[in-house]
Each structure stands twice: as structure tokens, then as C-alpha cells.
Amino acid sequence: MKKFQYAFFETTPPLFKRGKGGVHNQKKLFTFIFLLALAWQGQAQQYVQYTQFMFNKIALNPAYAGSKEGPTFSGLYRTQWVQLDGAPVSQSFSFHTPILGDKIGIGVSIHHDDIGPTNSWFYNLQYAYRIPLGKGHLALGLQALIRSYRVNWREVSSIQSNDPLFGADGDQKFLPNIGTGVYYHSDRFYAGASLPRILRGDLTFSGSTDPNADFSYEERHGLIMVGGIIPLTDKLKFKPDGLIKYTPNAPLDIDLHAGVVFMDLLNLGITYRIGGVTGIRRRITQPTSPGATPVPITQTRNSGGDSMDFILQILFSKNLKLGLAYDYTLSQVRDFHSGTYEIMVEYTLSKKQVGNTNPRFF
């Protein structure tokens, strides 16, 4: 049972909490069954997800540190699957800047994830060594981080009575880790690859010294990003972006984004997210004889992707930009929530003149 508990907390919000009434309707039970299937399929996919990944690369790749024209501050808030009990809520704040004549980039970032009974804080330090290459820069990055991981067992109702795991108010762990990445960018193109967490931190609280007793770990995630900006007219540009997330023994996640930039002031875009989501459909068999009880049968099918995401970015000035995003879920989980929302603000202290292709979008 503990194997399911740990994997489920890391990937899917729990729907059964302590309180009067317990599971009070059939719809909530079906929601639990549906998300249980997603938890088993995606239990290795634990890394943070941002719709505006193309504007928040420091959260994904330490080599991005120092790639802007000057010191850069950014903040992001994301609430996923609104109105679904225990759904993920995330916040992040980051600062990075070039130093020593743009040869070095340094950064610091803080990320917070609240998913059901789990609460995680990530504290990251980033370093990038930047090398001029062609019309741009190639950066090699490293990061050191520590994760504060806490589970509040009082927010969970145990199916098995007197389960000692749920007797305490909560458990907490501190998990150190390291990451690395490479990133290249010019005025019109960028590409990067990263391993943000190399070590497999143990997320269990069993206290056992038996290695076979630990069922949940921080999995390694490989990330590849690529994008560019293509001038179409003097006032119109096309901005494609892509992000691939790879985790061993888990479905491949791909974000494909297409945006249009108007007068270097407004960016409208849409993203198609391909994930390992499987839809679930129930049907009831007809009784073969009078008085026989109908038998429910659960069938799975491939969904048409994970979500369609809509992004609006506004440049209020050369230094200040605001990004808004809305995710429309394509899988059947959309029947149980009212959407995913994200807002991001970025401010750059820059004295350099910006070229015609406006690298502020990178």
C-alpha cells in the first residue's frame, strides 16, 4: 500500500480527506479512479511544469543564468486544475545576472509546490560559464539545490484502519541535489539541454534500512528546449518554441508552441502539449438473465494530447513584461476542474541597446 501512497502524492492530488461524510458521491469516486490510473502511468514525472517555459528558462536550465542584457528578476504563479481538491499550486521567484563582462552568469531561484498533502520548497543556486560562439553565446551551467519536502498525513484518510503511517501530524525531509545544463542563444535562435536533478533523492518516510522498502524517489529528468524568432514583416514576427521532457520508464512529454509577435510589444501564442495521458471510459454490461446485477467495465483509450495552452505576453517597456497563460485540458480530467491559470512578471535592468529581432523574448 505504501508504494501507491508515495507515488500518488508526488503526481496526483488526493481526493479523500479526513472529515464528515467521507466520499460523498459517485462522481468523486470516479475522479479518484481516473486520477489513480494517471498516477500509476506518470509516477516518474515529478518535475515542475510551466506553460510559459519559453519565458522562464532559468527554472529548467542553469546554463540560462546571465543570458539577459542585465540583472533580471522574475516571478510566476500557477494554479492547476482549479476547483479540483488537492490540485497543484506552484510559485517561483528567480534572479540572475551576467558578471565579469558577460563571461559568467549567476542566479538564485526559489520554487514552491503544494500538491495535496505534500509541500515542497526548492532553493537553487545557478552558475553558467559563457563562451562567445558565432553570433551568440554557448553557456555551460551547474546548479546546487536543496529541497524541503513535507507530507501532512492529517490531510489523508487511510483505507486501512490503524495504519501507523498516518498517525503523525507530518513528516519532513531535506534533499540536496545537483544539476547541469548547456544553452546556446543568438538574436534569433536558442537551444538547450539540461539535467536539473541528477541525484535520486529518497521521498519515503518508512524509516527502513532495507533498500527494497523504498518505493518513491526523485527521478532524473532530461529536458531539451529549442526556439527562435523569424521576421515576417517590419512589424510582425513568428516565434516557435519546443520543450521535450524525458524520464526513464515514463511517457514522453512534448510542448509545441507557435507565437506571433506584433511590433515587438505583444506576443500571442498557442501551445499543444503532448503527454502520456490516457482517458478512461466506463460502461455497464447488460444483464444476461433477469435479476442479474449489471457489471461495470472500465475501458482505457488514448486521448488527443494533454492540453491546448493559450499565452499572451505584453511588453510594457523595454525592461518590463507580463505573461498570462490558460491551459485547456484535452483529457477526461477536464470534467472535474475549471482550467489551469498562470501569470508571470519579469523585469530586466538593461543599459544595452536591443537589436531589431528583440532578444528580450529569449
**pLDDT by residue (tens digit) across 196-236?**
999 988 888 765 555 545 467 788 889 999 999 999 999 99
Contact 350, 69 (CB under 8 A): yes
- Taking the CA atoms of residue 220, residue 45, residue 343 and residue 117 in that order, the dihedral angle to the nearest 10 degrees is -110
Q: Name the percent of the chain lying above pLDDT 70.
A: 70
Check whether 56 has a pLDDT greater than 80: yes
Domains present along the chain, CATH in parentheses: 2-361 (2.40.160.40)
Residue 353 to residues 185, 201, 318, 319, 357: CA-CA distances in angstroms?
17, 44, 10, 11, 12
Q: Is 70 helix (H, G, I), strand (E, B) or coil?
A: coil
Q: Identify the pLDDT of residue 166.
A: 62
Residues 141, 130: Cα–Cα separation, whole Å: 9
Tens digits of residue pLDDT in 93-111: 999 999 998 899 999 999 9
pTM value?
A: 0.78
- How many C-beta neighbours within 10 Å does residue 17 have? 14
Q: Identify the pLDDT of residue 360.
A: 60
User: How many angstroms separate the first and last alpha carbons of the chain?
Assistant: 45
pLDDT grade for 83, boundaries at 50, 70 and 90 = confident
Rounded to 5 degrees, what are φ and ψ at 64?
Answer: -75, -15
Tens digits of residue pLDDT in 140-153: 999 999 999 998 87
Q: Identify the pLDDT of residue 343.
A: 97
Q: Identify the pLDDT of residue 259.
A: 96
Cell of 292: 442479474
Check whether 41 has a pLDDT greater than 50: no
Taking residues 75-83, report their average pLDDT.
90
